[in-house]
Amino acid sequence: MGEELRLARGVVVRRLLGVAEVSGSVSSLHVRVAAEAAGVSPRTVWHWLAAARAGRLERIPKSSFSLPDVWWTLLAAEGGNVSAVYRQMTEGGEETDFPVPSLATVQRSVKRDVREGRVLEVASVGRGRVEAGRYDRVLADLKLQRPGEGLAVVDAEPGALAAVEPDEEGVVPSRGGVRLFVPGARVVSTAGVAAVVEAVGHTVAARGIGCVFGEPGVGKTVAVQQALYLLPDRVPVWRAVVGVKPGLPQMRSSLLEALGLSAGSLAHRAQPADRALGEALRRPGVMFLDDAQRFSPPLLDYLRLLWDEPGTAAALLLCGAGAERVIARAPALRSRVLTWHQVPGLDQERLAEMLAMFHDVWEGLDPADVGWADATVARGNFRTWAKITSHVYALARRSRDLRVDRALIEQACARLGPYP
């Protein structure tokens, strides 16, 4: 039995024993999920538990070697190829300030760090893009467009919500679950939004699992909601709303409600609920779960088991700031993710143009004033710019002079406080 398998055995057994201390027993589902994570059969895990309860649990020391950050960055640039990085270590292509261990030690170190949650960012935006034309047929089937260089107001079509206006009580509604904070704001399709549309379209067409991640406030949910909005009407979209730190019954109930099933009678009946979910997910469609960074590894493994069913035809889309780090701690699900897409901040070169299309209050503004506000307050964050727009709009409406200038922008930015 190799060192890696023995390490997995120690982690699995200790966690199962912890479950047994809390609940008094270990269920077959616990063992099944643990076996999948360790890459062994459930029978093997039962043998491990029996040995541990008999006092034969082996303690495995953790390797002391860890790949330094500079080499970890190089590993990402090499697409995760440990052998290529190791050749540079040993052939003198790069200077090292530590004794170079064996290749097997470096490989074990990288696997251990990834298993413990460190993200190897080999799928960052703009890297490893496929050649032109590869997704054309999929995009045509889904009636989507390939990302372009231009900007477009995507809600300006006849019959669409070209602007978000307040209701009778003066409340500004949300667009797809995202507040735009100001009357007249429009969802603008930037190149970043179009890239999310392409990634989501391919994931749905392939009936796979996708993860959209990025810093808080960069516009992940806006972009994903727009991508789902552009899907053909024949493709159902199920949005499951899960609370903070949910347990398995809460997750099951949210999925049942999203699919229009009877959550009240099935949420606490595991087998009937799982059968109902399995049958519902045989239909082509897409299940969208936002704020996936809240989910624990057992919940992610539960999702993986649902989507591992042979008849599953629905796609699964996970989104959230830090979602990629949480999924990295669930190796079985991580290996099944088809699409990883990181949403960057707003394009600095076209920011003034984008803001003018986002809201009329920014028309004719000096780009230098926009650059100042972005450099000092917003820093390319979509949510911050939406809040600045709200305050600029309110201040301009209260003034006789509706012209927006640097002083008005500074006054609006001051209202965001120390944590914009």
d(CA 330, CA 308): 14
Measure the CA–CA gap between 388 and 14, rounded to whole angstroms. 50
Q: Does residue 408 lie in a domain region?
A: yes
Q: Is residue 185 part of a domain?
A: no
- State whether 282 and 401 are in the same domain: no
Instruction: Give yes or no: residues 337 and 355 share one domain.
Output: no
Domains contained in the chain, number: 4
Could you read off the pLDDT of 296-355 as tens digits, one per residue? 999 999 999 999 998 899 999 999 999 999 999 999 999 999 999 999 888 888 888 888
Q: How many Cβ atoms sit within 10 Å of the Cβ of residue 2?
A: 8
Highest mean pLDDT among 13-17, 35-39, 164-168, 219-223: 219-223
**Residue of higher predicted confidence among 37 and 256:** 256
Distance CA 143, CA 233 (A): 10
Same domain assignment for residues 200 and 293:
yes
Could you tell me if 266 and 328 lie in one domain? yes
- What does the alpha-carbon distance between residue 14 and residue 28 come to, in Å, rounded to a whole number? 16
Q: Domain span at residue 408? A: 348-414
Q: Provide the mean pLDDT of the chain.
A: 76
Q: Which two tokens stand for residue 280?
A: 């519902």
Amino acid identity, position 246: P
Q: What are phi and psi for residue 338, nearest 5 degrees?
A: -80, -40
For the residues 195-217, what does the mean pLDDT come to?
A: 92
Last residue of a domain, one of 296, 315, 342: 342
Q: Closest Cα partner for 354 from 384, 385, 391, 330? A: 385
Confidence of residue 30 (pLDDT cuts 50, 70, 90): confident
Shared domain for 99 and 226, answered yes or no, is: no
Instruction: Please check whether residue 33 lies inside any domain of the structure.
Output: yes
- Residue 234, pLDDT score: 83
| pLDDT digits 0-9 by tens, 327-340 | 999 999 999 999 99
pLDDT at residue 93 is higher than 80: no
Q: Is residue 82 part of a domain?
A: yes
Q: 301 in a domain, yes or no?
A: yes
Q: Mark whether 73 and 88 lie in a shared domain.
A: yes
Tell me which of 342, 368, 398 is where a domain ends.
342
| End position of a domain, from candidates 288, 316, 342 | 342
What pLDDT sits at residue 308? 92
Tell whether 338 and 359 lie within a shared domain.
Answer: no
Q: For residue 71, what pLDDT is reported?
A: 78
Per the domain annotation, does 30 fall within a domain?
yes
Question: Which residues 6+ apart lie within 8 Å of 266 measured at CB?
Answer: 252, 256, 272, 273, 276
230 or 11, which is more confident:
230
What tokens were used for 124?
Answer: 């960052």
285 and 403 in a single domain? The answer is no
In this structure, what CATH number is given to the domain that contains residue 278? 3.40.50.300
Q: Say whether both 93 and 201 belong to one domain.
A: no
- Is 253 found in the same domain as 324? yes
- Say if 333 falls within a structural domain: yes
- Please tell me the distance from the alpha carbon of residue 100 to that of residue 248, in angstroms, as a whole number: 45
The first and second tokens of residue 144, run together, are: 């989507």
Bigger pLDDT: 251 vs 81: 251
In DSSP notation, 15-58 reads HHHHHHHHHSS--HHHHHHHHHHHTS-HHHHHHHHHHHHTT-PP
* Assigned domain for 165 exists: no
